[in-house]
Amino acid sequence: MSDLSLYRNIGIFAHVDAGKTTTTERILKLTGKIHKTGEVHDGAATTDFMEQEQERGITIQSAATTCFWKDHRLNIIDTPGHVDFTVEVYRSLKVLDGGVGVFCGSGGVEPQSETNWRYANESEVARIIFVNKLDRIGADFLRVVGQVESVLGANPLVMVLPIGREDDFTGIVDLLTRKAHIWPDPGNPEKYEITDVPEDMVDMVEEWREKLIETAVEQDDEAMELYLDGTEPDMDVIKRCIREGTRKLDFFPTYCGSAFKDKGVQLILDAVVDYLPDPTEVDPQDLTDEFGEPTGEVATVALDEPLRALAFKIMDDRFGALTFVRIYSGVLNRGDTILNSFTGKTERIGRMVEMHANDRNELERAQAGDIIAIVGMKNVQTGHTLCDVKHPCTLEAMVFPDPVISIAVAPKDKGGSEKMGIAIGKMVAEDPSFRVETDEDSGETILKGMGELHLDIKVDILKRTYGVDLIVGKPQVAYRETITQEVDDSYTHKKQSGGSGQFGKIDYRIRPGEPGSGFVFTSTVVGGNVPKEFFPAIEKGFKSMMDQGTVAGFPVLDVEIELYDGGFHAVDSSAIAFELAARGAFRQSMPKAGAQLIEPIMKVDVFTPEDHVGDVIGDLNRRRGMIKDQDPGATGVRIKADVPLSEMFGYIGQLRTMTSGRGQFSMEFSHYLPCPQNVAETVIAEVKERKAAS
């Protein structure tokens, strides 16, 4: 049995160009996972690696890799480079126990880093900070430390100081041990010298070391008392205090170096082992019901608990479909039958593997704390819970909002249709908030997603990863229709043609339903004027008409229909006659009931530096937005507003212009509201045009 205290599930996340790839690569090199020691990594491999990295994280082939450092097992997870509003980011953060935030020494804390950091705070992931690229022109370690404090509102605990600047950057001083680590030979990270602190840095080292110890001992009353009495606690106690404070997110141990020049990565690995929590030290995951409400139970990380695991990433590689799984509790053996609590179906575990860049190790068993890939699972999507057949549970409810935006796409060349179909199928499995439909009238492929950026990235992945060039149409908003008033009405369907005819008469009431209720059908017929066996046919007739409203042909929401009377004929009445009566009734009554267009309203969360708050609010008001809340924080102001989706196209460009590139926003669907008259007229005119063109 493996000892869980020797496990570290970590992610390396950063702004796109901060050096996440190179850092990951050096870690794998140092831990002996890739390349022979001492081999300089240059040429084609590096550039490939970089390109892929910018797309997907660590590599295209794997989403998790395992390596060992000082007898500790490190599961390094690819955190997505794009912090979009997709499901995947949250999932990746969810399965991490700790992380390494990489910042560029010259670029400092960039907007993307802010977003990453905010997500990690929400997921309560302990982190250490690595300030990379100190060999660059303009790199300044202490300036970046100051930015972490002022921009991120975090508390960096400085653990090392750099020796020299920019081109003269030669090594680092470890404050705890008061020793200098010098790397004379770039390209050979294992070869370094440990010497005394350079004379000109002694005072500075003592000053920063004092700050470090003072902050650390606050975690332990005994150590604090010792320190105040003038005795420095021993090293183990200080390390224990740092570990405790890191786990509680009180501070973030901060290191520096240059991954490209192989300087300082060992200390990062030591810090991962020394200060980041193991799986048992993290608060256990809540179990929820299917609607996402906690049940009060938790998935305790232990081997003797029932099996609970979360599928957090689906990937296709040259070996076939891989489902990446984090096991929270229990043990999983090859050949076990497990339950997918979302689908209610059982699956047999065929092959389990541990991923290492391009290779994989076959596994016979895996246990709580492990991150593994299972080959060839059916019907499993991102976020599904896999559990013991006898103990069903849900780690996270799969509640996905309906897509609110769609684009029509077509392959540029004729032969691309099949290729596109296969690629889109894989992408839907990876991201359940992404949907695909075929338009019945025009035969176009419609991609649906959660926002403009979401679809942009999907089109980009189709192009770059799968090599499918697309012609992309204009984004379309998912408008809906509803009614505003109650109407009592009657409809008779009568058709006489030689032999038996068709007859069905219904008296009904149509009224606006509760928001979010969809379609509700009730019957209060008494006295057998309409026999009960025809009720399902009447309901089916009404329901089938809900897909296309009478205003502009959009689906209809929130309508209640009550059947209260009618008439039938002993010979001519049939289920089909009553279904046709219901269809005719719907067409007849919708316009009478004040049918109108409703539009999706988005919950928009904008982050802006204080200086630009007025501009941002003014712009949201111009977009018909309703400002709900303003929340000033350490790093700027968060503005929450409800804005119609149709007004949010191209918003990111506008926001960046207004805030000098530092603004960020996210949005998700909130509810539907009636369109203003002028907007509704424009939409109806566009729909008519489209129909005429097709």
Per-residue pLDDT of 174-232, as tens digits, reads 888 888 888 776 656 667 778 888 888 888 888 888 888 888 888 888 888 888 888 88
Per-residue pLDDT of 80-113, as tens digits, reads 555 444 456 666 777 888 888 888 777 777 656 6
Per-residue pLDDT of 367-398, as tens digits, reads 888 888 888 787 787 778 888 888 888 777 65
Per-residue pLDDT of 259-280, as tens digits, reads 777 777 888 888 888 888 888 7
- Whether 249 has a pLDDT exceeding 70, the answer reads yes
Task: Give Cβ neighbours of residue 192 (< 8 Å, ≥ 6 apart).
Answer: 171, 181, 182, 183, 184, 266
Highest-confidence range of 21-25, 234-238, 625-629, by mean pLDDT? 625-629
Q: Which of 122-136, 420-434, 555-569, 586-600 has the lowest mean pLDDT?
A: 420-434
Tell me the average pLDDT across 593-611.
Answer: 86
Inter-residue contact 111 to 83 (CB < 8 Å): no
Q: Which pLDDT score, from 0 to 100, does residue 39 have?
A: 36
- Distance between CA 430 and CA 432 in Å, rounded? 7
Inter-residue contact 478 to 425 (CB < 8 Å): no
Q: 642: which DSSP letter? A: E
- Distance between CA 562 and CA 539 in Å, rounded? 10
What per-residue string of b and e applies to 402-421 under the rule 16 or more CB within 10 Å gives b? ebbbbbbbebeeeebeebbe
The vertex-357 CA angle with 355 and 363, nearest 5°, equals 20
Inter-residue contact 323 to 311 (CB < 8 Å): yes
For the chain, give the mean pLDDT. Answer: 79
Tell me the three-class secondary structure of 564-598, residue by residue.
EEEECCCCCCCHHHHHHHHHHHHHHHHHHCCCEEE
- Distance between CA 128 and CA 251 in Å, rounded? 9
DSSP one-letter string for 189-208: TT--EEEEPPGGGHHHHHHH
Q: Alpha carbon 591 to chain centroid distance?
A: 42
Highest-confidence range of 244-258, 440-454, 485-499, by mean pLDDT? 244-258
Segments of 283-393 assigned E as strands: 285-288, 294-299, 308-317, 320-329, 331-333, 337-340, 345-348, 351-356, 359-363, 365-367, 371-375, 385-387
The residue written with tokens 């998790």 in the block is: 64
Partners of 338 in beta bridges? 347
Give every strand in the sheet of 502-512, ordered side by side.
487-495, 502-512, 559-567, 519-523
The backbone torsions φ and ψ at residue 304, rounded to the nearest 5 degrees and listed phi first, read -90, 5
- Whether 594 has a pLDDT exceeding 60, the answer reads yes
Tell me the average pLDDT across 333-346.
Answer: 84
Tell me the average pLDDT across 656-680.
Answer: 83
The backbone torsions φ and ψ at residue 5, rounded to the nearest 5 degrees and listed phi first, read -70, -15
Q: Which pLDDT score, from 0 to 100, does residue 50 have?
A: 36
Per-residue pLDDT of 448-499, as tens digits, reads 887 777 788 788 878 877 788 888 887 778 889 999 899 999 999 888 766 6
- Distance between CA 140 and CA 132 in Å, rounded? 10
- Distance between CA 437 and CA 30 in Å, rounded? 47
- Whether 589 has a pLDDT exceeding 60, the answer reads yes
**Band of residue 57 on the pLDDT scale cut at 50, 70, 90:** very low
- Whether 620 has a pLDDT exceeding 70, the answer reads yes
Task: Give Cβ neighbours of residue 422 (< 8 Å, ≥ 6 apart).
Answer: none
% of the chain surpassing 70 pLDDT: 84
Tell me the average pLDDT across 1-22.
Answer: 71
Q: Are strands 596-608 and 664-674 parallel, antiparallel or unpaired?
A: antiparallel
Structure tokens at 405: 């935006």
Q: Alpha carbon 184 to chain centroid distance?
A: 42
- Distance between CA 19 and CA 21 in Å, rounded? 5
Q: Which pLDDT score, from 0 to 100, does residue 584 have?
A: 92
Partners of 74 in beta bridges? 8, 67
**Three-state SS for 238?**
helix
Inter-residue contact 663 to 616 (CB < 8 Å): yes
- Whether 114 has a pLDDT exceeding 50, the answer reads yes
- Distance between CA 575 and CA 567 in Å, rounded? 13
**Band of residue 33 on the pLDDT scale cut at 50, 70, 90:** low
Q: Which pLDDT score, from 0 to 100, does residue 398 have?
A: 57
* pTM greater than 0.75: no
Q: Which pLDDT score, from 0 to 100, does residue 78 have?
A: 65
**Band of residue 585 on the pLDDT scale cut at 50, 70, 90:** very high
**Three-state SS for 525?**
coil
Q: Which pLDDT score, from 0 to 100, does residue 626 have?
A: 93
- Smallest CA-to-CA distance from 15 within 94, 90, 79 is with 79
**Band of residue 431 on the pLDDT scale cut at 50, 70, 90:** confident
- Whether 618 has a pLDDT exceeding 90, the answer reads yes
Inter-residue contact 154 to 117 (CB < 8 Å): yes
Q: C-alpha distances in angstroms, 219 versus 244, 270, 435?
A: 7, 21, 49
Per-residue pLDDT of 498-551, as tens digits, reads 667 888 899 999 999 888 788 889 988 887 788 888 899 999 999 998 888 888
The backbone torsions φ and ψ at residue 287, rounded to the nearest 5 degrees and listed phi first, read -90, 145
- Whether 53 has a pLDDT exceeding 60, the answer reads no
